[in-house]
Structure 1
Amino acid sequence: MKASWEKLEKNEGVLTVEVDESQVAEALDQAFKKVAQKTNVPGFRKGKVPRQVFEARFGVESLYQDALDIILPVAYTDAIQETKIDPIDRPEIDIQQFEKNQPLKFTAKVQVKPEVTLGEYKGLEIPEKEFSVTEEAVEQELKTNQDRHAELIVVEEGATEKGDTVIIDFEGFVDDEPFEGGKAENYSLELGSGSFIPGFEEQVEGMSKDDEKDVEVTFPEQYQAENLAGKPAVFKVKLHEIKRKKLPELDDEFAKDVSEYETLAEYKEDIKKRLQEAKDKEEDQYRESTVVEKATEVSQVEIPQVMIDTETNHMIEDFQNRLKMQGMTLEMYYQFSGQDEAALKEQMKNDAEKRVNQSLVLEAITTNENIGVTEEELNEELEKLASMYQKTAEELKSIFTANGNIESLKQDIANRKSIQLLLENSVNVPAVEEVAEKAEETVEE
């Protein structure tokens, strides 16, 4: 096989391929075996018609399309590997020649990954940011845990307050007409949770047991039910029961009940430790995202629309999978959010472009720095993934290889090594706010 690549403009070019006649003959043989199984010829059992008889009756040309379907994918893949190009979209193939006892000649118009002009990616500045855990944060986490273990006590007298859980009946009316989904009995609602239409919960505050009240609200303009969006409504509400949280005392007994520790002091120290671990991860993510963004800012690349569209589709697939884990479908999300597929794609477009841009820059740095991935590093990554997917590393490797994703996995590893290189060569600088404060102090002096 012969293959050559000619770049035309930007990231487009033409792949010219010639496949020798022996491979054409083999593809025609396979096509004949496939077609003969479904062909009826008088005097012969199905699948037993001789090749000469078949061609005399139907013509060898009747095999050409099936033979092309067999030979083109292999020839195109081999040509890509031979010319070392990296296509990003399906090719536009034009058959120049295909006949029995002749070479196959075709061209493929291909879009490839765009070239990246790297800027100075060493010495990038990362503004300093505080990631230490304050005592206020520890106390807030402790209060959250206290609230989580609170006991609900029925309140017989007095008015409702924010934070109370109330049992209510309600029925909603728009233009004095009840509407679908606007009625419930013995509904449990936590006041202040924000789970109802804005203004509803606030008006229930101050009611007492057995009180009845008309609650007037206006549906949001972007409400999921279009027939109600932006319309004023009246809910007739009856309050049956009030439950109020009784918080446990924050003492050593509380620590014993909710943790493995004997004292409140030990429990608070553990909270601080866990919060700091989360902050450390947050700091790592901040430094990595900042240095990649800055490396992207100083580089130049013209991103083809097809790459943005492909990444957008991947993001929607990921979003759909997350919805499934929550027991929802994409169609349900569209109904609840009032969006459609076009709106969701538009919402994700900028992030998709940013991801593609950063990925291209990291790949360019990987190439520029000759960053490779050893077999040991690949196996370590497979071992990590194996524990997540409950498979052996060898099983995962076979799956990745069969799906053609092993190179993508290697690229992910290489990109992480490139990020590490950027971090090792970065410079910490004071945050903009700190610089401004110091400038103000200098002016005042």
Structure 2
Amino acid sequence: MEIKAKALDTVNTQVTVDISSSDIKQEVEKLALKAAKTMKMDGFRVGKVPVSAVIKRYEKELKQDAEQALIKESITKALKDSKKEAKDLVGEPYFEKVERKDEGLQGELILSFKPELKLDGYEELIPSYQTPRVTKKEIDEKKENLLKNFAKTESIKEDRELKEKDFAKFDFEGFVDDKAFDGGKAENYTLEIGSKQFIPGFEDGMLGMKKGEQRDIKVKFPDDYASANLAGKDAVFKIKLHDIMELKFPNLDDDLLKKILPNEKEPSEEMLDNKLKEQIKNEKLYKLINDELKVKLADALLEKYDFDIPKGILEQEIDVQFRNAISTYTKEELESFKTDESKYKEKRESFRKEAVKSVKLTFIIDELARLRNIFVNDQEVIQAVYFEAYRYGSDPQKLLESYKQQGILPVVKMSLLEEKLFNDIFSSKEKESKKAEDK
């Protein structure tokens, strides 16, 4: 068996392997001899089965195992020649070429190692920003939405028309082509007008109605409506309005404040306003970080720090991005990928540039997290998966098992690590800004 290891760059080593037919034959005999010592076979006592009989019966399986063992041995030797250890490897060895020749095996594979990054001076790249300001109007709107949870609807006393933000109690039945359709009928249904819970045009069509009034409302179902039999269809809803109600907000007294702020000994409206102000500020800051600051910092980091990346990891990322984009391709494109390999390769290659950025940023984030002592444990990953399951009404344990089988958990972990890291970076930046302002 001939093995040649050649460094392609600082993290990738190309290993050329030439396994002859005699190498495979010797390994087959070695494996067969080992199996013969414990194998049961009709006509022979345990431990007395001839090696030739084992090979004859299991030749195909033994040959496959022999090839795998020799490839593994070649990787071990290549690591030794490169003065590396198995723990230094990143991902699985990546086979670039493999072919059979004279009943032997020839191939080229890539061994990839984790880049050694030096991110000196990264702090200078963190973009400055102003702490988001919160207005009194924003606090009042937030407080109104909070009090809405404690508000109750009451029927209006005056004789007036239905308007925006009113709550209507009504019967309705929908018709398409003069025929009632399933799920299009309800009695004493309550709807907040302007909430956009119904299809476009429905709530607007009810404006101006009075108690006891009946009206036909013409609407059109959206083209992307969930029920295919209704999508894009014109419809008529027959409405009978029974009652008009409005929301009555409670007084923000001591009892209500204690419900809203149960952990405070002496809650006050001023205390509530301060908490709402902090919440709004954090929401604005979170949006600013995710929509703007993270992108700026990531671009700056990628521009400043250039390094070699593992080929195997890169190829995997290209495949992931290609698969994730499949839903955006036309049927014609998908068919062309099956029949024309050049078109498939061309489309796949179009993801390389973004994949390089993604892989590099992953290693940068990993190193920054190490420098800043940021980590994510397994329990946090499980909690994130459970939260996602509860959010969409799924079984959390089934979703966790599904993610394990698909190998998605490392992706979840990296996403959590990224979020914690950037929050730590920008919260530290905010503290520095406050100190500068106080001086």
Shorter-chain TM band: 0.5 to 0.7
Q: 1:362 deviation in Å?
A: 5.5
Q: 1:266 deviation in Å?
A: 2.3
Supply the RMSD in Å over aligned alpha carbons. Answer: 5.7
Residue in 2 that maps onto 1:91: 95
Matches for 1:106-125 after TM superposition, within 5 Å: 106-110=106-110, 123-124=124-125
**Alpha-carbon separation, structure 2, partners of 1:249 and 1:218:** 42
Matches for 1:247-286 after TM superposition, within 5 Å: 247-260=249-262, 261-279=266-284
Residue in 2 that maps onto 1:438: none
Residue in 2 that maps onto 1:50: 49
Q: Determine which of 301, 316, 320 is the counterpart of 1:295.
A: 301
Gaps of 5+ in 1: 317-339, 391-399, 430-445
**Alpha-carbon separation, structure 1, partners of 2:419 and 2:73:** 30
SS at match of 1:291: helix
Contact 1:117–1:300 (8 Å) recurs in 2: no
**Alpha-carbon separation, structure 1, partners of 2:55 and 2:351:** 59
**Alpha-carbon separation, structure 2, partners of 1:297 and 1:55:** 60
**Alpha-carbon separation, structure 1, partners of 2:257 and 2:351:** 44
Change (3 A) 1:158 1:389: closer
Is 1:363 the counterpart of 2:354? The answer is no
Contact 1:154–1:241 (8 Å) recurs in 2: yes
Change (3 A) 1:114 1:143: same
Contact 1:254–1:264 (8 Å) recurs in 2: no
Change (3 A) 1:107 1:241: same
**Alpha-carbon separation, structure 2, partners of 1:219 and 1:373:** 52
**Alpha-carbon separation, structure 1, partners of 2:261 and 2:422:** 41
Is 1:220 the counterpart of 2:222? The answer is yes
Residue in 2 that maps onto 1:443: none
**Alpha-carbon separation, structure 2, partners of 1:356 and 1:109:** 20
Change (3 A) 1:88 1:344: farther
1:179-224 per-position Cα deviation (integer Å, ceiling 9, x unaligned): 3433333333222111111110111222233322111112223323
**Alpha-carbon separation, structure 2, partners of 1:418 and 1:147:** 34
1:342-388 per-position Cα deviation (integer Å, ceiling 9, x unaligned): 24999xx9999757614414626988xxx7959x959x754874995
Identify which of structures 1 and 2 has the higher relative contact order when contacts are C-alpha pairs closer than 8 Å and 6+ apart: 1
Q: 1:110 deviation in Å?
A: 4.5
Residue in 2 that maps onto 1:144: 145
Change (3 A) 1:384 1:281: farther
SS at match of 2:297: helix
**Alpha-carbon separation, structure 1, partners of 2:29 and 2:380:** 44
TM-score (norm 1): 0.60
Q: 1:294 deviation in Å?
A: 2.7
**Alpha-carbon separation, structure 2, partners of 1:172 and 1:249:** 40
SS at match of 1:138: helix
Gaps of 5+ in 2: 83-87, 334-347, 386-403, 434-439
Q: 1:240 deviation in Å?
A: 3.0
**Alpha-carbon separation, structure 2, partners of 1:292 and 1:419:** 14
Residue in 2 that maps onto 1:172: 174
Matches for 1:31-110 after TM superposition, within 5 Å: 41=42, 43-44=43-44, 50-52=49-51, 54-55=53-54, 57-58=56-57, 60=59, 63-69=62-68, 71=69, 74-75=72-73, 78=76, 86=90, 91=95, 94=98, 106-110=106-110
SS at match of 2:127: strand
**Alpha-carbon separation, structure 2, partners of 1:268 and 1:136:** 11
TM-score (norm 2): 0.61
Residue in 1 that maps onto 2:188: 186
Change (3 A) 1:249 1:168: same
The code of the aligned residue for 1:342 comes to: S
Contact 1:31–1:67 (8 Å) recurs in 2: no
Residue in 2 that maps onto 1:342: 327
Contact 2:131–2:285 (8 Å) recurs in 1: no
Residue in 2 that maps onto 1:126: 127
Residue in 1 that maps onto 2:16: 16
Change (3 A) 1:135 1:118: same
Matches for 1:426-445 after TM superposition, within 5 Å: none
How many residues align structurally? 373
Change (3 A) 1:23 1:88: closer
**Alpha-carbon separation, structure 1, partners of 2:138 and 2:51:** 85
**Alpha-carbon separation, structure 1, partners of 2:27 and 2:326:** 44
Contact 2:170–2:241 (8 Å) recurs in 1: yes
Q: 1:150 deviation in Å?
A: 0.8
**Alpha-carbon separation, structure 2, partners of 1:133 and 1:30:** 76
